Amino acid sequence: MQQDTHLIDDRLPTPLYHQVYLVLRNKILNDDYTRGSLLPGEQETSDMFGVSRITAKRALNELARDGMVVRERGRGTRVVYHSLAQPVEVNVEGVLENLLAMGLETEVKLLSFDYLPANRETAQLLDCNEGQSVQKAVRVRFLEDEPFSHLTTYVPSEVGDSYSREDLAEKPLLALLERSGIKISRAEQTITATLSDAEVSPALGLELGSPTLCIYRVVYDQNNRPVEYIKALYRPDRYQYRMMLTRVGNESDRSWSLTE
């Protein structure tokens, strides 16, 4: 039997059972083990990873605890997890239009809606004074009843006063801004990666410390005034960011350019 011992390392601080769990979980997420298929048994998993049977059993039990598999005596460990048929895909071209369309096609759960003093970072990004009142809202977006994004937004209080908590629970924020008469002209954003914390993990159905795609975005109106600052965290298995590139330049100096 081919072993996957190269995928785990007993020198790492992460327990071996958790390393095995992560490898098997990744195989399920990548459809190497599809819904309804059987995972290797405890002894087979033990042999595959070069670990004890107790370690293998604990890894399989962790998968069962997370609802990814069902363990039945005499029948084995069966995969019950299923991913969305197609991850949400957004083009970098036409960002604002894509975001509005996605907001209309998905469901949202509003977790919090408050007014609070802007901290230094938020004040700089919204071009207001530190301590000035801003509206903060936290939402989770769902597609096909599955969570895929955790959104924390800040807007100047005078902008936030134009809509209610109930409005934000029903309509995309961009649509509410436009309804209030604000004309969105552009946005600046940064895409990076981060680990899910104790607040985000349960909201997105992730294990604590799981990787997430992180997008910071500042939206501006026609007067170049920042009207929204958002921090969006996405499950990487349910959200994709796509860019169209064109090869440009001469033979001696060619590079990739974003297609407009």
User: Six-digit token pair at 113?
Assistant: 């809606």
* Domain-ending residue, one of 46, 79, 112: 79
Integer Cα distance of 56 and 16 in angstroms: 9
185 and 236 assigned to the same domain: yes
Average pLDDT, the chain: 83
* Domain-ending residue, one of 22, 51, 79: 79
92 and 75 assigned to the same domain: no
65 and 180 assigned to the same domain: no
58 and 163 assigned to the same domain: no
125 and 107 assigned to the same domain: yes
* pLDDT for the residue numbered 102: 53
pLDDT tens track for 97-130? 455 445 556 788 999 999 999 999 999 999 999 9
Q: What is the CATH number of the domain that holds 173?
A: 3.40.1410.10
Q: Which residues are bridge partners to 233 per DSSP?
A: 150, 214
Query: In 3D, which of 89, 86, 84, 85 has the Cα closest to residue 240?
Result: 89
Q: Tell whether 254 is covered by a domain.
A: no
Integer Cα distance of 239 and 193 in angstroms: 13
Residue holding tokens 């048929």?
85
CB count in 10 Å sphere of residue 252: 5
41 and 107 assigned to the same domain: no
209 and 159 assigned to the same domain: yes
Better-scored residue on pLDDT, 6 or 21: 21
Mean pLDDT of 212-237: 91
Least confident of 72-76, 87-91, 101-105: 87-91
Better-scored residue on pLDDT, 238 or 86: 238
171 and 231 assigned to the same domain: yes
SS3 143: strand
110 and 159 assigned to the same domain: yes
* pLDDT for the residue numbered 92: 41
Query: In 3D, which of 96, 66, 216 has the Cα closest to residue 153?
Result: 216
Q: What is the CATH number of the domain that holds 45?
A: 1.10.10.10
Q: Tell whether 260 is covered by a domain.
A: no
Structure pTM? 0.65
66 and 97 assigned to the same domain: no
* pLDDT for the residue numbered 239: 74
The tally of domains found in the chain comes to 2
Looking at residue 30, its amino acid is: N
* pLDDT for the residue numbered 96: 45
140 and 60 assigned to the same domain: no
Confidence band for 150, pLDDT divided at 50, 70 and 90? very high
Mean pLDDT of 204-210: 86
Range of the domain at 46: 5-79
Instruction: Assess contact for 171 and 180: CB atoms under 8 A.
Output: no
* Domain-ending residue, one of 79, 103, 126: 79
47 and 107 assigned to the same domain: no
Integer Cα distance of 164 and 209 in angstroms: 33
Least confident of 28-32, 77-81, 169-173: 28-32
CB count in 10 Å sphere of residue 202: 12
Q: Tell whether 251 is covered by a domain.
A: no
